[in-house]
């Protein structure tokens, strides 16, 4: 096997792992300013009901997309997704900018995504949106409900990909309408997501990673970092306590295991990523003596 072939196999997985790494580092950087805002998803961050409320939101959104696809109303899905992403971008920018500049930039992102949904535009916006959502939900839950969320979503992801397969249908439908809900990693030079989209079989020009695969483990990272009273460790000038670091490293280990599975068919990412994040978090919490439960 040539070195070029080895690189061809490793490059897309390394790129997708880098998305997860950047999202988690950005989330840690966003946590201090966003924690000063009053925007939270759940009123009681300690409630064990919170993760199940999140699941209901996920199921409702999934049903909405699948129904719209069945009714050939992909433009409705695209519009809702674009508005949701613009709101996510605004939430992040509003922590740093005054109202009007934040709103103007969010609308600019909305226009660019609508008129020019190329893979690198989608990836850049995806990084910002994932970091913002991961931080928001992480700040809205303490570690116990966050752990519950990761466990339940890992099970749901496995069932929806391997058993019911509705998540595969959902992903394919999202890619067909060019909705920016996935990270895109080209397999070949000159690939254009705008022109080629999903492709089929061996003709597929890119690998795809759902935004949720970057968001959900990050929720535990941020939850651990703000809710556990432990001294931070500096990473690139950003503070993270030991359990948060353990969740990060566990996520990367889980991704490494995921990368060894077959890429000839869709794989459920959350069982690997969430499983690694949970194990890394629990081990680091045990070492640091943090009271998790």
Cβ atoms of 116 and 247 closer than 8 Å: no
pLDDT tens-digit series, residues 124-165: 999 999 999 999 999 999 999 999 999 999 999 999 888 888
Q: What is the SS3 assignment for 236? A: coil
Q: What is the domain range of residue 18?
A: 3-288
The whole-number pLDDT of residue 200 equals: 57
Q: In which band, very low, low, confident or very high, does the pLDDT at 6 lie, cut at 50, 70 and 90?
A: low
| Of the listed ranges 4-8, 36-40, 288-292, the one predicted with least confidence | 4-8
Q: From CA 221, how far away is CA 286, in angstroms rounded?
A: 16
| Of the listed ranges 84-98, 167-181, 243-257, the one predicted with least confidence | 167-181
Higher pLDDT, 118 or 39: 118
pLDDT tens-digit series, residues 176-224: 767 778 898 888 788 888 877 766 555 677 888 889 999 999 999 999 9
**How far from chain centre, in Å, is Cα 106?**
19
The stretch 89-103 carries a mean pLDDT of: 86
Higher pLDDT, 152 or 39: 152
Q: What is the SS3 assignment for 95? A: coil
Q: Which two tokens mark 24?
A: 């988690």
Q: In which band, very low, low, confident or very high, does the pLDDT at 266 lie, cut at 50, 70 and 90?
A: confident
The whole-number pLDDT of residue 9 equals: 66
The whole-number pLDDT of residue 274 equals: 96
Q: Give per-residue burial for 102-122: e unless 16+ CB within 10 Å, then b.
A: beebbeebbeebeeebbbebb
Q: From CA 97, how far away is CA 105, in angstroms rounded?
A: 10
Q: What are phi and psi of 188, to 5 degrees?
A: -145, 160
Residue 16 clears pLDDT 70, i.e. is over it? yes
In a domain, residue 57? The reply is: yes
The stretch 158-173 carries a mean pLDDT of: 82
Strands 238-240 and 233-235: antiparallel
Alpha helices (runs of H) in the chain, residue ranges in sequence order: 3-35, 50-70, 74-93, 99-115, 119-138, 143-158, 166-176, 193-196, 211-227, 242-259, 270-288
In a domain, residue 79? The reply is: yes
Q: Which residues contact 207 (CB under 8 A, 6 or more apart)?
A: 12, 16, 184, 185, 187, 263
Residue 1 clears pLDDT 80, i.e. is over it? no
The whole-number pLDDT of residue 240 equals: 92
The whole-number pLDDT of residue 83 equals: 87
In a domain, residue 293? The reply is: no
Average pLDDT over the chain, rounded to whole? 86
Residue 88 clears pLDDT 90, i.e. is over it? no
Q: From CA 136, how far away is CA 261, in angstroms rounded?
A: 31
- Domain count within the chain: 1
The stretch 46-73 carries a mean pLDDT of: 86
Q: Which residues contact 84 (CB under 8 A, 6 or more apart)?
A: none
In a domain, residue 179? The reply is: yes
Q: In which band, very low, low, confident or very high, does the pLDDT at 2 lie, cut at 50, 70 and 90?
A: very low
């Amino acid at each position: 096997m040539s070195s070029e072939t080895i690189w061809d196999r490793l490059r897309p997985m390394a790129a997708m792992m880098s998305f997860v790494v950047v999202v988690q580092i950005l989330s840690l950087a966003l946590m201090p300013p966003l924690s000063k805002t009053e925007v939270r998803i759940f009123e009681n961050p300690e409630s064990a009901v919170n993760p199940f409320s999140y699941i209901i939101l996920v199921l409702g959104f999934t049903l909405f997309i699948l129904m719209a696809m069945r009714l050939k109303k992909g433009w409705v899905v695209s519009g809702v997704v674009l508005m949701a992403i613009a709101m996510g971008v605004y939430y992040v920018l509003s922590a740093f900018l005054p109202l009007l500049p934040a709103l103007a930039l969010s609308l600019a992102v909305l226009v660019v995504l609508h008129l020019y949904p190329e893979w690198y535009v989608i990836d850049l916006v995806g990084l910002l949106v994932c970091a913002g959502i991961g931080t928001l939900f992480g700040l809205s839950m303490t570690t116990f409900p966050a752990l519950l969320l990761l466990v339940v979503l890992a099970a749901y992801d496995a069932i929806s990909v391997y058993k019911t397969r509705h998540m595969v249908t959902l992903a394919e439908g999202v890619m067909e309408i060019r909705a920016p809900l996935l990270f895109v990693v080209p397999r070949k030079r000159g690939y254009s997501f705008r022109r080629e989209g999903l492709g089929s079989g061996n003709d597929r020009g890119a690998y795809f990673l759902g935004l949720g695969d970057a968001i959900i483990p990050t929720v535990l990272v941020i939850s651990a970092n703000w809710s556990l009273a432990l001294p931070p460790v500096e990473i690139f000038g950003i503070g993270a306590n030991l359990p948060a670091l353990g969740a990060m490293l566990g996520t990367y280990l889980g991704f490494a295991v995921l990368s060894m599975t077959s890429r000839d068919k869709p794989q459920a990412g959350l069982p690997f990523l969430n499983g690694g994040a949970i194990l890394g978090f629990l081990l680091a919490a045990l070492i640091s003596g943090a009271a998790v439960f």
